[in-house]
Amino acid sequence: MPIDELDGRLIELFTAEPRVGVLEASRRLGVARGTVQARLDRLSRDGVIAGYGPEIDPAALGYAVTAFVTLQLRQAGGHDPVAKRLAQVPEVIEAHTITGPGDMLCRVVARSNTDLQRVIDVLVDVAGVERASSVISLATQVAYRTLPLVRASARRAGRTGGTRPGEGGADGAKPGERPPG
C-alpha cells in the first residue's frame, strides 16, 4: 500500500518493457539487483502486483464488439446464483453488482453486432434476470490503465530518497551501460 517513488519507477519500467528482467531493471533504475528483487517480492506479496499474465486482446480473437449490459434481477434469489451463471458465459468478461436502477453491470464481447444479440439473449435467459439494457462501446477513448494511479500513489507517499553509499559495481548498477533491448 505505501508505494514509494522507486516502486513507481519499477512498475513503470515493467509496464513499458515487461521482458527486461530483474538484472536489467536494476541497471536501468541504478539500484542493486537485490533491491529490485526485494521490491518486486514485496509488491507481489502486498497484492499491488496481482500477476504477470499475458494480456489477451479479445478483438484479435475475433471479438470485435464490446458492450456494457445492465441487468435487472428478480428481487428473490439474490445476485450470486445469477453471477454463477454469468461466469459460465465466455463472452461475459466482467460483472459487477452495482448501485442505482440496475442490479448488475456486465462487460461482454461479441464477434459482431448480430452476435451481440445472441449473447444478450443468453444473458436474458439466465434464471433470475428480468431485463437487460445494453450500450455498445463505439470506441475506446482511454484504454484500461493503472499507471497514472501508480504515479499518483508514488508521488504522495514519502520515502523518496534511498541510500546512496556508492556507485558502480560488477553485478548491477553500471551507470553508462546501454540496455540491449
Q: Among residue numbers 65 through 104, which ones bind a second copy (CB under 8 A)? A: 66, 68, 79-80, 83, 86-87, 89-100, 102, 104
Q: Note whether 22 binds DNA by CB under 7 A.
A: yes
Burial class (CB in 10 A: 0-12, 13-18, 19+), 87: exposed
Nearer to DNA (CB atom), residue 6 or residue 116: 6
Cell 464488439 sits at which residue? 65
Q: Which residues contact 123 (CB under 8 A, 6 or more apart)?
A: 69, 71, 86, 89, 92, 106, 108, 129, 132
Within 10 A of 127 (CB to CB), how many other CB atoms are there?
10
**56: its cell numbers:** 489477451
Q: Note whether 15 binds a second copy by CB under 8 A.
A: yes
Distance CA 119, CA 92 (A): 9
Q: Note whether 124 binds a second copy by CB under 8 A.
A: no
Closest distance of CB 42 from DNA, Å: 7
Mask for 147-166, x = binds DNA (CB under 7 A) = ---------------xxxxx
Closest distance of CB 126 from DNA, Å: 38
Query: Which of DNA, a second copy, none interacts with 165 (beta carbon under 5 to 8 A by kind)?
Result: DNA
**Hey, what amino acid is at 49?**
I
Q: Choose, by CB under 7 A, the member of 18, 34, 77, 78 that binds DNA.
A: 34
